[in-house]
């Protein structure tokens, strides 16, 4: 099926039983093409995660139109895999068992096929040899690889990633950037990636959607226009620095507005 994502006039309001009503998104329109990597960038509280979870089918569409492959989103689906901000690994399960968990919920897969697919994903994220290790025995970067492998194992066509590298140290984060791009080259997917890091967005994405302070709207969509085989060398180019500077100027204004709103 087609994996293009179409958001038109999306709005969302949180109305807790106790507490303040929050107008999270207002008239958001966004197109994500098939096998395109789009980063959502904006200040804290601008609705990035809300939009991601609506695309994932975890939040209802209150206003507007949201489709994946031309089909309205009414709930989660196997074609959309989510990598959450927190690792969400089962501490009592090994690396292999954590990755097998999603496959065990998938109908029609024989045990041998599940095992082969799990091992393929372990190899893909370079965790070969750690199949029987438990999360407590892994570094933060290794835990993140397990989380990504678990999502890839069920073979989604779309990856929805909510600040997956935010909790990692700078060195591990850069290694994970290279790892993710390597995986995308081998198994191309449509990706929506949330980040607060302008440099991360420019390095990873094909285009960046900058969101305004709450209520979140799309302020501007910026194409990165980098060579397909750029790799880490792209970070040393003037084109990279120019995009980072330009995007930071957009985000900075919204971050200042967001601080004023919270004051």
pLDDT (tens digit per residue) in 41-62: 999 889 999 999 999 999 999 8
For residue 88, being part of any structural domain is answered with: no
Is the preceding omega at residue 168 within 30 degrees of 0, hence cis? no
In the predicted structure, residue 73 carries a pLDDT above the cut 50: yes
| Domains of the chain: total | 1
| Domain around 10 | 1-79+189-263
Cβ–Cβ < 8 Å for 128, 51: no
Q: Would you give the DSSP letter of residue 73?
A: P
For residue 263, the model assigns a pLDDT of 44
Q: pTM of the predicted model, to two decimals?
A: 0.91
How far is CA 91 from its chain centroid?
Answer: 23
Per-residue confidence band for 34, with pLDDT thresholds at 50, 70 and 90: very high
Closest CA to 102 of 54, 147, 55, 59: 147
For residue 139, being part of any structural domain is answered with: no
Task: Retrieve residue 65's tokens.
Answer: 């139109």
For residue 220, the model assigns a pLDDT of 96
For residue 173, being part of any structural domain is answered with: no
Residue 118: Cβ within 10 Å count: 23
CATH number of residue 34's parent domain: 3.40.50.300
For residue 3, the model assigns a pLDDT of 83
Encode 84-101: b = buried (16+ Cβ within 10 Å), e = exposed: beebebeeeebbbbbbbb
For residue 154, being part of any structural domain is answered with: no
Q: What is the pLDDT of residues 227-261, one digit of tens each?
A: 766 667 888 889 999 999 999 999 998 988 887 65
Question: By percentage, how much of the chain surpasses pLDDT 70?
Answer: 96
HSE-CB for 206 with a 13 A CA cutoff = 16
Residues, the chain: 263
For residue 195, being part of any structural domain is answered with: yes
Q: Would you give the DSSP letter of residue 65?
A: E
What integer is the mean pLDDT of 73-89?
Answer: 89
Beta strands across the sheet bearing 5-14: 22-32, 5-14, 63-68, 71-72
For residue 55, the model assigns a pLDDT of 96
For residue 228, the model assigns a pLDDT of 65
Q: What is the pLDDT of residues 152-210, one digit of tens each?
A: 998 899 999 999 888 788 888 888 888 888 888 888 899 999 999 999 999 999 999 99
What integer is the mean pLDDT of 18-22?
Answer: 85
For residue 131, being part of any structural domain is answered with: no
For residue 255, being part of any structural domain is answered with: yes
Encode 183-201: b = buried (16+ Cβ within 10 Å), e = exposed: beeeeebbbbbbbbbbbbb
HSE-CB for 14 with a 13 A CA cutoff = 18
Task: Retrieve residue 126's tokens.
Answer: 């370079």
β-strands 158-162, 37-41 pairing: unpaired
For residue 64, being part of any structural domain is answered with: yes
């Amino acid at each position: 099926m087609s994996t293009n994502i179409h958001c038109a006039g999306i709005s969302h309001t949180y109305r807790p039983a106790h507490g303040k009503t929050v107008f999270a998104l207002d008239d958001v329109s966004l197109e994500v093409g098939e096998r395109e990597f789009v980063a959502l960038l904006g200040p804290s509280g601008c609705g990035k995660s809300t939009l991601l979870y609506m695309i994932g089918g975890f939040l209802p569409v209150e206003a507007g139109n949201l489709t994946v492959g031309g089909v309205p989103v009414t709930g989660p689906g196997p074609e959309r895999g989510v990598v959450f901000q927190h690792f969400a690994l089962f501490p009592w399960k090994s690396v292999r068992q954590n990755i097998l968990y999603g496959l065990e919920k998938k109908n029609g897969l024989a045990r041998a096929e599940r095992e082969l697919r799990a091992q393929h994903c372990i190899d893909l994220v370079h965790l070969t040899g750690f199949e029987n290790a438990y999360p407590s025995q892994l570094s933060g970067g290794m835990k993140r690889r397990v989380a990504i492998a678990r999502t890839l194992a069920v073979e989604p066509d779309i990856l929805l990633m909510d600040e997956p590298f935010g909790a990692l140290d700078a060195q591990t984060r850069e290694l994970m950037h290279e790892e993710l791009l390597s995986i995308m080259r081998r198994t191309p997917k449509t990706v929506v990636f949330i980040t607060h890091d302008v440099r991360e967005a420019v390095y990873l994405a094909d285009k960046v959607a900058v969101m305004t302070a709450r209520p979140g709207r799309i302020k501007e969509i910026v194409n990165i226009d980098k060579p397909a085989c750029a790799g880490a060398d792209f970070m040393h180019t003037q084109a990279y620095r120019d995009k980072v500077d330009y995007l930071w100027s957009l985000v900075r204004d919204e971050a200042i507005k967001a601080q004023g709103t919270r004051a």
